[in-house]
Structure 1
Amino acid sequence: MTESNGASNTPKPSKAEAIKEASGYLRQWVAEDLGNDLTHFSEEAAAVLKFSGTYQQDDRDVRLKLKREKQEKAYSLMVRVRIVGGRLTADQYLACDELAREVGNSTLRITTRQELQLHGVLKRDLAVTIRHINEQLLSTLAACGDVERNVLACSAPIKDRVHEEMIEDARVWAAHAAPRSTAYCDIWLDGEKYASLPDAGPPLLSQPGDDPVEPILGKTYLPRKFKTAFAFPDDNCTDIHANDLGYLAIVEDGRIVGYNVLVGGGMGTTPSADKTFPFLAVPLCYVPRDQIRQIGEAVIRVFRDFGNRSDRKRARLKYVISDWGIEAFRAKVEEYIGRRLDDPLPVTVTDVDDHMGWSEQGDGKLFLGIPVENGRIKDEGSLRLFSGLRAFVEKYKTPVRLTCQQKLILADLEPAWRDEVNSWLEEYGIASVEKISNARRWSMACPALPTCGLAVTDAERALPSVIDQLEAELARQGLEGERLTVRMTGCPNGCARPYNSDIGLVGRSAKLGPDGVPGPGTYTILLGGRAIGDRLNVEFKDYVPHDQIVAELSPVFARFVADRIGDETFGDFCDRVGVAELGGVPATAEAEAATA
């Protein structure tokens, strides 16, 4: 198989493909730029830098001001720590905390993929930052870029066989699918092979023409990013349907015997391009547990060879499956794997647990899930979560776990510590799950402005005030006990997974203030997904101003109170009734112009 479609009329590869081709397995530009005195990386180096888990950004709150003053942008770097299954030792967490204070902006951010992000790192500090992360047996390799990203698995520290088997499988797959080029070691680690880097081993499906350096990913790596999640049917805490590749555990007699394999999930879309859309992963086959690497490698190889390399808007696996159909895709995977695949078993996702609050681990110890609003670990006002966590981990030396809902879990707590821990929460102004609303508990937002280059409006900074209003409205209508997911993104790319939530809020436009600072603008409201993540929502209202979001939802909540059937969830109700019946109308051209 070739890495292009092999046809003479294949469209010209995108600029990103040309950069990957010329990078020499990710070696070019970055090392050279590290040696100059500039405050930022070149365009080519910044593109390659993503494969090392780093995005070049600038502070968009001051961008216009600096431009008027004829100064360069306020450049910084976001460094993402790749953490398979979201599991950190105490020392690893403290190392990230130290870096956040010394080279970052004194915050840490939990991502929706169980990672930690450092923000505000300057170019001059990048090399020492990445080296220090690897010295703690963590890594930034492949946390970004056109490769297999961080692999997700349930992070709850439940001490039973199935949870241990799942994290073992996630680690095995993550290592197998990782880049094999030594460029990362050579650039950041002086050629040393740290234990933080995966020991990938040989490919399982070698083919004529395989690249000698990157036999699975290929010389130009994948057409776009590739995401994998492991989940249990009764606990879809990793949102498996939102991933390119999903392993849904089949459990028998207290052990994982195999997985239903799902393919094609992806959230990103471009509203102006009908050819793009969110898509939920669909069942492909069933495999015994010992075949997860083989089936995963076959899926990646098909994506590598047939994904769109000319139009990055359509370069995700979901478009291959949408264009071909799942049967044709399955036939191609069977061709690569060399045998027929078994049909998926009649097992689907049924529930989700965010693992918040106090719970038993199963070994006599406890764990505590702590809500973290929009994943930002910070000290602000009476909340001292950043310093509080440092004090806690320094004292108790307990592991830290990160969830796909941007929350964290403190593991291995002795029952005798419970009163002390509750006092610690009070001392540092950290709200336990019992002290926040369901709406806030199940909400998520991406970072968006001011650092994300793709954001068109706020998300992390805008959602808290929406939740404040939402809490009041739900309480007024007697709905404060409802579990409903609210997810906001600052652009349509969907990093906080808004398209399968009960209420999705997707940034549409922003207005600049008189000082040139962009602020909360307008959003698309989507309704009809649900907490377990197996259904897409649909557009309800478009171009809704930030301060009118809850007002638009209020009559829908009233209708839900009046017409719900039994214990029907809000998302199920909206899906059953339909957004047109609930008053959803497309924005007019005049409304679009008024809010542009």
Structure 2
Amino acid sequence: MTAPIPKEWNVIAPNGSAVEQIKDRSDYLRGNLAEDFQNPLTAAVSEANVQLVKFHGFYQQDDRDLRVQRQEKKLEPAHSFMIRLRVPGGELSAEQWLKMDAISDTYGNHTLRITTRQALQFHGIIKFEIKKTIQAMQAAALDSISGCGDVNRNVMCTPDPSLSPLHAEIFPWAQKISEHLLPRSRAYHEIWLDEPAGKRLVAGGETEEVEPLYGKHYLPRKFKIAITIPPYNDMDVYANDIGLIAIAEHGKLQGFNVAVGGGLGMTFGREDTYARLASVIGFCTPEQVLAVCYHIVGIQRDFGNRQDRKLSRFKYTLDQYGLTWFKQELNTRLGFELAAVRPFEFITTGDRLGWSETTNGLWHLGLRLEYGRVVDTAAQSLKSALVAIAQANLCSFRMTGNQNLVLVNIKPEHKATVEQLLKQSGYNPDASHLSGLRRHSIACVALNTCPQAMAEAERYLPELITKLEASLDRYGLRQAEIKIRMTGCPNGCGRSVLAEIGLIGKSPGRYNLYLGASFNGDRLNTLYRENQDEAAILSTLDGLFAAYAQTRRQQESFGDFVQRTVLTS
């Protein structure tokens, strides 16, 4: 299909969505945020600012466990904010980890949470302490710019240095791409960091263009980029708007295969919404990658749907106009053609857990976290243990896209100390004592804070896995590596449609059951049963586990088994 000439992207048609109108009036993301956050009469912000603050890296939420109770007392909901750091590649120094931990205790709910985008979230920040929180982040040389909103989000990259000797060469590209695609508006700095408002007029009195990439309306929806290093697909690279697959020859980085148009969110009841895996379209050199990312974002800016936000992700733009048109448009903007795709292979989307060593003699420890939540409990004081490790400056910290944590660059003489501090806290760093199902599980936050959640996820999946482990034990499958993921709604935060067993919430206690994604992340799963309660889920999976144990082929993954025997039969 031939695409129309794009509208001037600093002008919004009258039928643009409500969010487009908010961006149009925002004065490059400023709006009246400064005044709204000083309003002492409510813990919330205006409806327009609920959308605008996302560009500054935070979401307004309320405690849904208390919602009805507060309504009965004629009180407004228990509002607070979730703030999401921008941490390209997921790396924090020991000093930064300590400062983030202090923020969680001083302003948050005493927890940290690692996200499926390799970032860090604070929960429970009240409106009147947002500014203090952001200033504390700034003191650690960190920010939340583009943590959310219709811009390029946190750029992900395979975080474990032990996975590839090329890691040190590839990892910095996450930071480079993130910086290259950052919004240029100074609204964040003016509102939260008290930077004086600059002179934003040029000769003639017209407003200076402050967003050379995004324009005043930014993108139609969020945009996501990830880098991965074969044979590991730990970033779920096909789930991203741009996936960059590092290609090496003879130990030297050659460049990146470029995949475009991934996205997992959908809307119940709308068949025109769907999950899509990214399409691999070509190869670029390291010197070309910034321009490639920039112009792909520019095409989505110009041609993405700004009327219906349900259809505004990049995947829909690609499917509307076609890959042939897109590649022609990209080549024209670049001034060169992408080279042919280079061969590569993925083996898993999982993280390496436990101890591993690199060629330079340093050690790395992959820690399995339960859905990214760093917290002290009666049974386990992992949060305090990580503080002690950081205070001793024994390592730096790398967050993973699977909600886990890698302690990197540990000297051999410090291994025993790190392990001792973890074990004293009640945390066992050897994840082999966990079932394969639990080791590979992912869950979004869902209830009680996410406003989109229709059902539980983080709070419920551990309990469900315990019940499923009874079946695994019955059939000798406890250590079988089976990937299960749960989300409280169909928006895709937990990447459930890329799981061998995917559960997506429909209503409290009920889930759609999806089966059959590949172990290496290159095949989506398929809806198998709708609106299932716990008993139905347990019964269905028990039968499948029994069949898998009895009739699987050698080295056959659970997803491939289900695809072969159930979904295609």
Preserved contact between residue 350 and residue 402 of structure 2 (Cα < 8 Å): no
Q: Distance in 2 between matches of 1:494 and 1:411?
A: 29
Residues 1:486 and 2:484 aligned together: yes
3-state DSSP of counterpart to 1:380: coil
Partner of 2:502: 504
Residues 1:31 and 2:34 aligned together: yes
3-state DSSP of counterpart to 1:373: coil
Q: Distance in 2 between matches of 1:96 and 1:530?
A: 36
Select 1:84's aligned residue among 85, 88, 112: 88
Cα distance, 1:340 vs structure 2: 2.9
- Partner letter of residue 235 of structure 2? T
- Partner letter of residue 468 of structure 2? L
Q: Distance in 1 between matches of 2:496 and 2:298?
A: 29
Q: Distance in 1 between matches of 2:112 and 2:211?
A: 33
Cα pair distance change 1:353/1:553, threshold 3 Å: closer
| TM-align CA RMSD | 2.1
* Residue pairs, 1:317-336, within 5 angstroms: 317-336=314-333
Q: Distance in 1 between matches of 2:181 and 2:15?
A: 27
* Residue pairs, 1:117-266, within 5 angstroms: 117-158=121-162, 162-191=166-195, 212-266=209-263
Deviations 1:145-195 (A, max 9, x none): 0000000011113497521221222211111111011111111111179xx
3-state DSSP of counterpart to 1:73: coil
Matched length:
554
- Partner letter of residue 17 of structure 2? S
Partner of 1:587: none
Preserved contact between residue 242 and residue 260 of structure 2 (Cα < 8 Å): yes
- Partner letter of residue 488 of structure 2? G
Cα distance, 1:382 vs structure 2: 0.8
TM (normalized to structure 2)? Answer: 0.94
Preserved contact between residue 3 and residue 304 of structure 1 (Cα < 8 Å): no
Preserved contact between residue 234 and residue 352 of structure 1 (Cα < 8 Å): no
Preserved contact between residue 161 and residue 168 of structure 2 (Cα < 8 Å): no
Q: Distance in 2 between matches of 1:68 and 1:16?
A: 31
Preserved contact between residue 17 and residue 307 of structure 2 (Cα < 8 Å): yes
Partner of 1:386: 383
User: Quick check: 392-401 or 248-257, which moved more?
Assistant: 392-401
Partner of 1:536: 524
Partner of 1:457: 455
User: Quick check: 14-23 or 340-349, which moved more?
Assistant: 340-349
Preserved contact between residue 358 and residue 369 of structure 1 (Cα < 8 Å): yes
Partner of 2:201: none
3-state DSSP of counterpart to 1:297: helix
Q: Distance in 1 between matches of 2:147 and 2:535?
A: 35
* Residue pairs, 1:43-122, within 5 angstroms: 43-122=47-126
Partner of 1:204: none
Deviations 1:49-75 (A, max 9, x none): 101110000000010111111111100
Cα distance, 1:573 vs structure 2: 0.9
Q: Distance in 2 between matches of 1:228 and 1:155?
A: 15
Structure 2: 5+ residue runs without aligned partners? 198-206
Q: Distance in 2 between matches of 1:150 and 1:386?
A: 24
Cα pair distance change 1:218/1:474, threshold 3 Å: same
Preserved contact between residue 266 and residue 281 of structure 1 (Cα < 8 Å): yes
Deviations 1:243-276 (A, max 9, x none): 0001101101212111110001111001200000
Q: Distance in 2 between matches of 1:382 and 1:352?
A: 30
Cα pair distance change 1:367/1:9, threshold 3 Å: closer
Q: Distance in 2 between matches of 1:159 and 1:472?
A: 33
Q: Distance in 1 between matches of 2:506 and 2:568?
A: 21
Partner of 2:544: 556
Q: Distance in 2 between matches of 1:218 and 1:397?
A: 44
Cα pair distance change 1:3/1:450, threshold 3 Å: farther
Partner of 1:376: 373
- Partner letter of residue 546 of structure 1? E
Partner of 1:17: 20
Select 1:280's aligned residue among 277, 282, 289: 277
Partner of 2:471: 473
Preserved contact between residue 381 and residue 427 of structure 2 (Cα < 8 Å): yes
Residues 1:448 and 2:446 aligned together: yes
Preserved contact between residue 29 and residue 44 of structure 1 (Cα < 8 Å): no
- Partner letter of residue 552 of structure 2? R
- Partner letter of residue 222 of structure 1? L
Cα pair distance change 1:296/1:258, threshold 3 Å: same
- Partner letter of residue 384 of structure 2? S
Q: Distance in 2 between matches of 1:271 and 1:222?
A: 24
Preserved contact between residue 508 and residue 543 of structure 1 (Cα < 8 Å): yes
Tell me which stretches of 4 or more aligned residues in structure 1 moved more than 4 Å.
Answer: 8-11
Q: Distance in 1 between matches of 2:320 and 2:309?
A: 15
Cα distance, 1:306 vs structure 2: 0.7
Preserved contact between residue 283 and residue 339 of structure 2 (Cα < 8 Å): yes
Q: Distance in 1 between matches of 2:77 and 2:474?
A: 46
User: Quick check: 404-413 or 329-338, which moved more?
Assistant: 329-338
3-state DSSP of counterpart to 2:406: strand
TM (normalized to structure 1)? Answer: 0.90
Preserved contact between residue 256 and residue 285 of structure 2 (Cα < 8 Å): yes
Q: Distance in 1 between matches of 2:482 and 2:518?
A: 7
Cα pair distance change 1:339/1:159, threshold 3 Å: closer
Deviations 1:293-337 (A, max 9, x none): 111111111101111111111110011112222212212212222
Q: Distance in 1 between matches of 2:166 and 2:92?
A: 19
Cα distance, 1:355 vs structure 2: 2.2
Preserved contact between residue 75 and residue 122 of structure 1 (Cα < 8 Å): yes
Q: Distance in 1 between matches of 2:534 and 2:389?
A: 37
- Partner letter of residue 527 of structure 2? E
* Residue pairs, 1:288-327, within 5 angstroms: 288-327=285-324
Partner of 1:567: 555
Q: Distance in 1 between matches of 2:39 and 2:30?
A: 16
Preserved contact between residue 287 and residue 342 of structure 1 (Cα < 8 Å): yes
User: Quick check: 354-363 or 445-454, which moved more?
Assistant: 354-363
Cα pair distance change 1:213/1:392, threshold 3 Å: same
User: Quick check: 553-562 or 60-69, which moved more?
Assistant: 553-562
* Residue pairs, 1:399-418, within 5 angstroms: 399-418=396-415
Residues 1:4 and 2:7 aligned together: yes
- Partner letter of residue 562 of structure 1? Q
Cα pair distance change 1:266/1:159, threshold 3 Å: closer
Structure 1: 5+ residue runs without aligned partners? 194-209, 511-520, 582-596
Q: Distance in 2 between matches of 1:191 and 1:211?
A: 18
- Partner letter of residue 241 of structure 2? D
Preserved contact between residue 371 and residue 458 of structure 2 (Cα < 8 Å): yes
Q: Distance in 2 between matches of 1:355 and 1:304?
A: 37
